[in-house]
């Protein structure tokens, strides 16, 4: 795998990891590696990092954790060892017209050493990235849902007399991701369908509660990805 670009949203975090003082980087590595309990809520991780790294505010902590998480996700999809992955990123920065003039060779070497420490340390973001791969590695991933309800009039033969009766039709709009594309699916439901769907969701929630208890009794951390 060859790294060929860095999305613009991560440029600020890259600059921080290159230019921050060594003691700040050490605090970040320590907080991500040892001092934060397993979480799958990126906002909670960000605040935990900001609380433990005295010279880092929440905004910069968010940018850095988001960038490192993206690197872990990319790393998990590769066949690289940490050193090979970091070397590939370093090679891109050296040869890229966008970045090669921004940083000195000393800064790039220091960045690669810092990133390697983070990658080898593992910690909460490594757990999060692996959990994301397990949970999200499906053909279709649910994004969100909406129910649209309409009154549908029913007419007799003589339309001019107006509706003879009416019914309610629900349309369930499902948004999902498939092969990195967002797609939509529309399903017609009646009141019986709504009740059945509610029953199934309630049953799934109860099963999840029982399964969480089994996980906790086995002394295994329960992880759930949250937005």
Q: Is 57 exposed, middle or buried (0-12, 13-18, 19+ CB in 10 A)?
A: exposed
The residue with greater pLDDT, 4 or 83, is 83
Of residues 52 and 197, which shows the higher confidence score?
197
φ/ψ of 5, rounded to 5, equals -175, 160
Q: Global pTM? A: 0.53
For 65-97, the pLDDT digits (tens) are 788 878 877 777 777 787 888 888 888 888 888
- Residues 99-145 have pLDDT tens digits of 877 888 888 888 888 888 777 766 555 555 565 555 556 678 788 99
Burial environment of residue 130 by CB neighbours within 10 A (0 to 12, 13 to 18, 19 or more)? middle
Q: Which of 80-84, 159-163, 210-214 has the lowest mean pLDDT?
A: 80-84
Residues in the chain: 227
How many CA atoms are closer than 13 Å to the CA of 52, on its beta-carbon side?
19
- Contact status, residue 123 vs residue 33, Cβ threshold 8 Å: yes
Q: To the nearest 5 percent, what fractions of the chain are helix, strand and coil?
A: 55, 20, 25
Q: Which residues of 27-39 are buried (b: 16+ CB within 10 A; e: fewer)?
A: bbbebbbeebeeb
Who contacts 215 (Cβ-Cβ below 8 Å, separation ≥6)?
A: 221, 222
Give me Rg for the CA atoms of the chain. Answer: 25
């Amino acid at each position: 795998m060859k790294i060929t670009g860095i999305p613009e949203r991560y440029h600020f975090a890259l600059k921080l990891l290159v230019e921050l003082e060594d003691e700040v980087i050490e605090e970040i590595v320590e907080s991500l590696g040892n001092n934060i309990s397993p979480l799958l809520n990126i906002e909670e991780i960000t605040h935990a990092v900001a609380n433990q790294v005295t010279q880092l505010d929440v905004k910069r902590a968010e940018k850095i954790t988001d960038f490192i998480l993206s690197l872990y996700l990319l790393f998990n999809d590769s066949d690289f060892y940490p050193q090979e992955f970091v070397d590939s990123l370093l090679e891109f920065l050296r040869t890229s017209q966008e970045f090669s003039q921004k940083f000195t060779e000393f800064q790039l070497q220091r960045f690669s050493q810092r990133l390697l420490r983070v990658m080898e340390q593992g910690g909460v973001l490594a757990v999060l990235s692996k959990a994301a791969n397990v949970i999200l590695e499906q053909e279709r991933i649910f994004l969100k849902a909406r129910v649209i309800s309409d009154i549908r009039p029913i007419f007799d033969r003589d339309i001019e007399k107006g509706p003879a009766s009416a019914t309610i039709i629900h349309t369930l709009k499902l948004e999902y991701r498939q092969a990195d594309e967002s797609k939509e699916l529309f399903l017609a439901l009646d009141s019986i369908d709504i009740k059945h769907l509610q029953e199934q969701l309630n049953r799934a929630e109860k099963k999840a509660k029982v399964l969480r208890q089994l996980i906790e009794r086995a002394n295994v951390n329960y992880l759930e990805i949250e937005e």
